Amino acid sequence: MESEKQTLYLHCIMCILGGFLGAYAILCRLMNFGSSQTANMIDILCTLFEGDVTDFLLRLSGLVLYVLAMLICVLLTKKTALNVKRYAIFIDMAGLILLAFIPADINPITGILPIFFMMATQWSVFSGNGEFNSSTIFSTNNLKQFTFALTNYVMEREKAQLRKAKFFGTSLLCYHIGVIFSFFACRSFGTHASLCALPLTFCALVPTFSCQPKQKQNPPHAKFQAHGNPHPL
């Protein structure tokens, strides 16, 4: 699989997984969105001033987990040779299994704590196709970029804008395919629906193993030529 195609394939799979988990949190955990921190940070302040200590601490824990996940990704990228894409996929895989064991009647914020860590990890590692920056875990900026690019193409007929619109349109489409998948899975299996997304993680792992960089090998006679001999014999 060529590198450009591999990157796009992996981006699409992660968008589907991001859409699945975004909808899973909303459908199974009382409309709480676990993929970002905007609403959670608002709720941290609201629960603080309302005096709801339990919810305040849980939501604060969610923020800490989100930041911690991003911090770990930075450290792994800067300080190790670990394949961080593979690491992020394994985090999603473990999280999907863990979610299935969290009781449905537990505090909904407790139920999405793993999603906070999973999505922060995914967001830190998967950021587009190299040409365009695109989130795989929420859609607001993807919608903005798609709208701008499509409008600019209609007005100016630039092929670059059409290519951009196609990419962000594909990101939106894949994300919402994940949402649809999550809707039917959650309706059928409740909180155990997270296990339905495990095949996506296996699909995402394939290109991280199948396209390893090849080491450049010198021709057999190179070492002889290096010593001034035109032929090995």
pLDDT tens, residue by residue, 121-142: 999 999 888 889 999 999 999 9
Quick one: pLDDT band at residue 212, thresholds 50, 70, 90? Answer: low
> Nearest-CA neighbor of 16 among 219, 232, 231, 200?
200
Query: Residue 38: pLDDT above 70?
Result: yes
Query: Residue 200: pLDDT above 90?
Result: yes
Query: Residue 225: pLDDT above 50?
Result: no
Report how far residue 73's alpha carbon sits from residue 82's, in angstroms, rounded to the nearest whole number.
10
- Least trusted range by pLDDT, from 127-131, 201-205, 227-231: 227-231
Encode pLDDT of 87-117 as tens digits. Answer: 999 999 999 999 999 999 999 999 999 999 9
What is residue 164's predicted lDDT score, i.e. its pLDDT?
96
What is residue 91's predicted lDDT score, i.e. its pLDDT?
98
Query: Residue 214: pLDDT above 50?
Result: no
Angle at 16 between CA 10 and CA 185, to 5 degrees: 140
Report how far residue 207's alpha carbon sits from residue 219's, in angstroms, rounded to the nearest whole number.
29
Q: Which pair of tokens denotes residue 113?
A: 């704590």
Query: Residue 217: pLDDT above 80?
Result: no
What is residue 115's predicted lDDT score, i.e. its pLDDT?
98
User: Cβ distance 21 to 34 under 8 Å?
Assistant: yes
What is residue 211's predicted lDDT score, i.e. its pLDDT?
55
pLDDT above 70 as % of the chain: 89
Query: Domain spans of the chain?
Result: 3-208
Query: What is the CATH number assigned to the segment(s) 3-208?
Result: 1.20.1250
The CA-atom distances, in angstroms, between 174 and each of 126, 136, 212, 217, 223 are: 14, 9, 26, 40, 51
Which has more pLDDT, 135 or 233?
Answer: 135
Query: Residue 223: pLDDT above 50?
Result: no
Which has more pLDDT, 6 or 151?
Answer: 151
User: Cβ distance 179 to 20 under 8 Å?
Assistant: yes
> Nearest-CA neighbor of 28 among 20, 38, 39, 36?
20
What is residue 5's predicted lDDT score, i.e. its pLDDT?
87
What is residue 129's predicted lDDT score, i.e. its pLDDT?
85
Encode pLDDT of 70-93 as tens digits. Answer: 999 999 999 999 999 999 999 999
